[in-house]
Amino acid sequence: MRTAEKVIITTAITGSVNIPSQSPYLPLSADEVADAALAAIEAGSAIVHLHAREPDGRPTPDPDVFEKIVGRITAETDAVINITTGGASSMTMDERLAAAYRLRPELASMNMGSMNFVYSGIADKVTEWKHDWEKPYVLNTYSKPFVNTFDKIEHTLRTLGESGTRFEYECYDIGHLYSLAYFAELGLAKPPLLIQGVFGVLGGIGADHANLEHMVRIADKLFGDDYAFSAFAAGRDQMGFGTHSAWLGGHVRVGLEDSLWIGRGKLAESNAQQVRKIRAVVEDLGKPIATPADARAMLALRGGGA
């Protein structure tokens, strides 16, 4: 792993997993997502990872909605934009790629394999539903996997990669590292790689700190110093895994996509609140926070105006 001299904070603003019935603070409309992203950037986030939603919170692949969000962020900041290619398991591949194809961001997420990506358990915890779409949406994940086959990964690497977009390789299990190594051997995944270890999603690797250290060991074996590492855990383990990643020499990711909480039993009121918390932890470790310019240099990104 390339040890981070400065720690990049990525904020995943809204995602497609959590639903409005879980928290009144989840950004939904394009303006809400843009406002949340701008506040996270002001708090210290160098990268914002973007999904889009309809005003009622339903995840949407609509490039027009993404364009509105991105337009506001780039007009006011120099932050790195990271657009999802994962979308939601209910979306087709063409839908998942539509926004990234149109906007050609510096960075896009890349789920490194098909998997059971289950968050049906949300339904057990919600006592009052705000919208009719929510309950069937989360329950559907118990029977429908997220699909990202090798041909789909290769297609995305070739097409988006040709325009200069680089990738945040989201690895939900150790096998995903070996899948990434395959595409690196083909020359399609080009160093420096940004590996995002994802822990605590049902169907993927568990939120056990031994798993984080194991993932780094295997990534070191496969990629040497040709990669930067970041990690997050879903839900209550978010801050602990960010702290552990920074302590190991990696980067961190927070945001309401990954966790709705700021502490035990206390909902986060904003993405920026989570950024401020992890920033304080990282700085207490004696590590400076990366600016967007620092992130571009470390990850070999092309620059927002290119």
pLDDT more than 90, % of the chain: 97
- Mean pLDDT value across the chain: 97
Report pTM. 0.97
Radius of gyration of the chain (CA): 17
CB atoms near residue 164 (< 10 Å): 13
* pLDDT at residue number 306: 46
* pLDDT at residue number 210: 98
pLDDT by residue (tens digit) across 140-168? Answer: 999 999 999 999 999 999 999 998 999 99
**Residue 68 region by backbone torsions, left for phi larger than 0, else alpha for psi between -120 and 50, else beta:** alpha
Residue 254 reports pLDDT greater than 70: yes
Look at residues 65, 1, 75, 3 and name the one whose alpha carbon lies nearest to residue 84: 65
Residue 44 reports pLDDT greater than 50: yes
User: Which has more confidence, 304 or 63?
Assistant: 63
Output phi, psi for 179, to 5 deg.
Answer: -65, -45
Residues 6+ apart with CB under 8 A from 123: 135, 138, 139
pLDDT by residue (tens digit) across 239-248? Answer: 999 999 999 9
Answer for the pair 250, 240: CB distance below 8 angstroms, yes or no.
no
For 165-174, what is the mean pLDDT? 98
pLDDT by residue (tens digit) across 259-279? Answer: 999 999 999 999 999 999 999
* pLDDT at residue number 303: 84
